[in-house]
Amino acid sequence: MINMETVGMSMFLAGQWVKRHEVIDVRNPQDHSLITTVPSATEEDMLYAIDQAKAGFKIASKMPVHERIAILNKAADYIEARLEDYATIIAKEGSKTIREARKEAGRCVQTLRISAEEARRITGETISFDQSPGSENRQGYYYRFPIGVIGAITPFNDPLNLVAHKVGPAIASGNAIIVKPATVTPLSALKLAEAFDAAGLPPSILSVVTGHGSAIGDTLVTHPSVRMISFTGGLEAGLSISRKAGLKKLSMELGANSPVIVLKDANVNEAVEANVSGAFWAAGQNCLGVQRIYIEKEIYEEFSNRFVTKTMNYRVGDKLAEDTDMGPLISEKEAIRIETWVKEALSAGAKLRCGGKRDGAYYEPTVLTDVPDDCTIANEEIFGPVVLLYPVSSLDEAIEKANEKNFGLQAGIFTNNLQHAFQASQELDVGGVMINDSSDYRIDGMPFGGVKASGLGREGIQFAIHEMTDPKVVCFKLNKM
């Protein structure tokens, strides 16, 4: 087991904990206090990790499935036995409250256990070659094989479980993987590496390389030996990666400005409860977070009043306090960005129902109405604790407005009308539609990803494994008897 001081001087480079003279401060965004430091890796470090991963892939690809399963379960056991330690690190280095962090740590355990289960289900199918004239004497099948070295670039908002969503499937499918965690939240990724180290993962299969993207990111993205980049982050960064990556697989989750529809036949109390949580979980820094809510006019006043009341009762404060509902954003810079966007909307005619105040990295849970369509906050991903309310006259209007934006990750609809639920599920241009849930609902075993600017491919263990493997056809030409 590594303690915080050791983490502060080490990164996990091809199975070894190594130190570097140049370091990066890891600070608590709540008060900017120094937690620890991590190595500031160089291009040479990344090249070494890639070279070692090539050797690690040879080991991983030949590792029996039962050994992959055992290692994944041992890593899950390790984290589960230290759940509070993992949750505390998540809360300290990021924006989550301790209660939110415990849920993430628990989900990480689930993610690794599902990865272990899916390792035994990487299967192929027989192929009827005799469907083609002249191929009557051929039989065969296809199976899926690991693609090689995978580069994973992960964000700050789920610093443990989103790393596990890349590492777990990679190991389950027999690949090697190099993780470049978010510069501001590297400790959780290093703690995940600790679990795999303790579980007996062979050296060189996993590296967690800490450092600035400007120093090591392009090396990972462009290297020809890296056969896939799995990226979770912002649209601009995703576009940059796609231009640089070259001929390799790309899996990208690039965020959203998720819509929710609340119809007049919905249970208003349930809709308010779910959407307040969906809007302000992790201080709104959540790719699935509720950003736009379209409410039928008949219940607009009732819903908006209850929503504002619930929002005003949201408790903002110390992340480690058990009664805190929301902590700070990841940095004061992000809080200032959101403050600027809100002020722009207010200047353009939007109305402030509650919130709208900043204190350092904290920004109050904020509700806006009458937001003009051309405002930045109406079109971009807010990634902060701000939600926009709109009245609509019908489901058709709500779907039309929900689809106007360039993102399409997930959406929610609240209704007791089955016809309306099916219409929304078919016509909303997103990767997932949650019925009587906010857009902020996900389990780790489901396919997860979006359309349009929300990304490429799907995560969720079974589906990530599919992205991390390729089919190989085997055909036997049989001698005629």
pLDDT score, position 480 = 75
* Residue 1 confidence (pLDDT) above 70: no
Model confidence pLDDT, tens digit, residues 379-431:
999 999 999 999 999 999 999 999 999 999 999 999 999 999 999 999 999 99
* Residue 247 confidence (pLDDT) above 60: yes
For residue 243, how far is the Cα from the chain centroid? 21
Residue that is written with structure tokens 């619930």 in the block: 310
Does the pTM of the predicted model rise above 0.85? yes
Domain with CATH 3.40.605.10 in the chain: 4-254+455-473
Model confidence at 378, pLDDT cuts 50, 70, 90, reads very high
Q: What is the mean pLDDT of the chain?
A: 96
pLDDT score, position 7 = 46
Residues 6+ apart with CB under 8 A from 333: none
pLDDT score, position 473 = 98
**For residues 93 and 37, is the Cβ–Cβ distance under 8 A?**
no
- pLDDT (mean) for 348-377: 97
* Residue 435 confidence (pLDDT) above 70: yes
Question: Bigger pLDDT: 43 or 480?
Answer: 43
Model confidence pLDDT, tens digit, residues 71-89:
999 999 999 999 999 999 9
Model confidence at 3, pLDDT cuts 50, 70, 90, reads low
Model confidence pLDDT, tens digit, residues 305-321:
999 999 999 999 999 99
Model confidence at 224, pLDDT cuts 50, 70, 90, reads very high
pLDDT score, position 479 = 85
- pLDDT (mean) for 361-365: 98
Q: Tell which residue, 407, 359, 404, has the closest CA to residue 383.
A: 407
Q: Tell which residue, 211, 145, 199, 200, has the closest CA to residue 175.
A: 145
pLDDT score, position 225 = 98
CATH 3.10.350.10 holds for 4-254+455-473: no
Active-site residues, by number, are 253, 287
In which element (H, E) is residue 322 found?
none
Model confidence pLDDT, tens digit, residues 339-356:
999 999 999 999 999 999
Q: Which CATH code for domain 259-443?
A: 3.40.309.10
